[in-house]
Structure 1
Amino acid sequence: MLYLERFSFLDEDTEWNVCAAEKHTCYDSFYPFGVLGEKELGRVVFEPVTIFYGGNGSGKTTALNVMADAVGARRQAPYNRTSFWQQYVRRCRAQGVWQRAENVAALTSDDVFDYMLDIRSLNEGIDAKRDEVFGEYQDAKYAHFQVHSLDDYDRLKQMNDARRHSQSRYTREHLMDNVRTRSNGESAFWYFTEKITQNGLYFLDEPENSLSPARQKELAAFLADSARFFGCQFVLATHSPFLLALPGAKIYDLDRTPAQTACWTELENVRVYRDFFKEHEKEF
């Protein structure tokens, strides 16, 4: 399913003209102007899986964020932007029917990190509350208390509850369990597979971060199945050879100028992996 069919970025001349008109300002950066124009990215034509590849500083994350903002993708974690961000986004052109998607979202490794911090904070709160319940149990079980009116009913009920149960059972019944914690890689994989639902348009920024090679292969299989069988479209920025090798993916190589489509086996980072393993082939 194609919810986003084409996207036009600004050319270098347009970027230069906009920046020239702002030279009288106090700004020393016009980001994202000056990043993608020199790549001559021009118009992007999408497939169910479209990948932006490039080294650090190549502009792939900038391109992803611009496209996500242009179609109003939901997002949680903050991202790099300046006072000129919306000026740039408004000048770009998106074509497609993304309004028909059931979910349009940008998911990044920063979202995973924030999720893990939220879980940790929640569990810390539960642990603190547990200590409070322990004290409440001891106080209720051994308190000397007499009922004088109906106002004392709740206190009497608490005392009886404490005296009928062990401390551990009393605590379990009065406190929610800790949220299950996972390793960074497990949390990242779980996060993406939970957030990605059918019939959606998703912008994924380096989702391989924190994932082991085996988990990256699992994520690649999940994305391939979601695109093939569940009506999803994906736009990724990635270095991962496992994601770059997704069947049928269209790859834009931003390490080249002008940026152009390429086969995953032609990409520099992939060839670095290949050459490394060939050098050590006898050790296997």
Structure 2
Amino acid sequence: MYLKRITLDRKRVKSKSDYPFCIPVIQNLEQLEIESNVTFFVGENGSGKSTLLEAIADKCGFHTAGGGRNNSYEAEATQSDLGDYVKLSWMPKVTNGFFLRAETFHQFASYVDSLEGDFSKYDPYGGDSLHHQSHGESFLSLFQHRFHQQAIYLLDEPEAALSPQRQLAFLRIMHDLASSGQCQFIIATHSPILLGYPDAKIWSFDRDRIAEVAYEDTDHYQITRYFLDNRERMLMELFKDEE
């Protein structure tokens, strides 16, 4: 592992009512220990998981709309509101890596197309423009061809473009990289498939403080399992007010 600890410099926080310090888990954050090569952030929308992941990317020097240290392009909403208040502790420090942000991946693909040079610029993405591939294909091309060892990868909802089958394919790619001990993943996700990765550490953002949670205790697992086992009953309950 490379990233060992995330610390919030609370002395610099002027007001807890300002964003993002009004988010309960950010307001109460002091330190978060990273103890696994694969770490998941889970929680409802607005719980702060993507905000913290973006801050980590900012401190790593990655483009906060998506990319690595050497990617520079104009994009909307690229300023991290938390990055200036976060300190990262490394052992050893690594500068290689990538920040995948599903909602701005289209802008990153356009940036790659705009680069000067021949078609070799597409080598890290499967040899073709990311725009010429389906959304899911472009994600897998990135994972397969640009992700290598001795790096940290920060992924914000990578399942957004992946079918269940391709989520399984991604799990295999992640396993091949993480099991080497030279590759680290921190992933914000809603996917019960991705969360099933063995021996991963799962941090829940659904309470006032970030807390470790077992896979089977996540809402993602429990709701999905209950729906699959009780589909008709759950739908009847969900739609009963419409009758």
Range of TM-score over shorter length: 0.7 to 0.9
Match of 1:274 in 2: 225
Distance 1:70 1:278 in 2: 43
Matched ranges for 1:91-130 at <5 A: 91-97=85-91, 99=93, 101=94, 103-117=96-110
Offset at residue 262 of structure 1 (A): 0.6
Aligned-partner residue type, residue 50 of structure 2: T
Offset at residue 32 of structure 1 (A): 2.4
Offset at residue 194 of structure 1 (A): 2.2
Contact 1:206 1:238 in 2 (8 A): yes
Map Cα deviations across residues 226-258 of structure 1 (whole Å, 9 max, x no partner). 111261001111111111111111111001222
Aligned-pair identity (%) = 30
Contact 2:20 2:26 in 1 (8 A): no
Contact 1:109 1:206 in 2 (8 A): yes
Offset at residue 263 of structure 1 (A): 0.9
Contact 2:25 2:210 in 1 (8 A): no
Match of 1:6 in 2: 5
Contact 2:109 2:129 in 1 (8 A): no
Q: Specify whether residues 62 and 228 from structure 1 end up closer, same or farther in structure 2 by C-alpha distance, changes over 3 A only.
A: same
What is the aligned-residue RMSD (CA, Å)? 3.1
Match of 1:144 in 2: none
| Structure richer in helix, relative to its length | 1
Number of equivalenced pairs: 211
Match of 1:227 in 2: 178
Q: Specify whether residues 48 and 76 from structure 1 end up closer, same or farther in structure 2 by C-alpha distance, changes over 3 A only.
A: same
Offset at residue 4 of structure 1 (A): 0.5
- What are structure 1's unaligned runs of at least 5 residues? 21-28, 123-177
Offset at residue 79 of structure 1 (A): 6.4
Offset at residue 33 of structure 1 (A): 2.6
Contact 1:39 1:259 in 2 (8 A): no
Q: Specify whether residues 18 and 195 from structure 1 end up closer, same or farther in structure 2 by C-alpha distance, changes over 3 A only.
A: same
Which secondary structure state, in structure 2, belongs to the residue aligned with residue 19 of structure 1?
coil
| TM-score normalised per structure 1 | 0.64
Q: Specify whether residues 233 and 36 from structure 1 end up closer, same or farther in structure 2 by C-alpha distance, changes over 3 A only.
A: farther
Distance 2:97 2:110 in 1: 24
| Of 134, 147, 167, the match for 1:216 | 167
Distance 2:5 2:140 in 1: 29
Match of 1:62 in 2: 51
Map Cα deviations across residues 43-74 of structure 1 (whole Å, 9 max, x no partner). 11111111110111111100101112123235
Offset at residue 225 of structure 1 (A): 1.7
| Of 9, 16, 19, the match for 2:15 | 19
| TM-score normalised per structure 2 | 0.74
Matched ranges for 1:1-284 at <5 A: 2-9=1-8, 18-19=14-15, 30-35=18-23, 37=25, 40-46=28-34, 47-77=36-66, 78=75, 80=77, 85=81, 88-97=82-91, 99=93, 101=94, 103-117=96-110, 181-229=132-180, 231-280=182-231
Offset at residue 273 of structure 1 (A): 0.5
Distance 2:48 2:173 in 1: 26
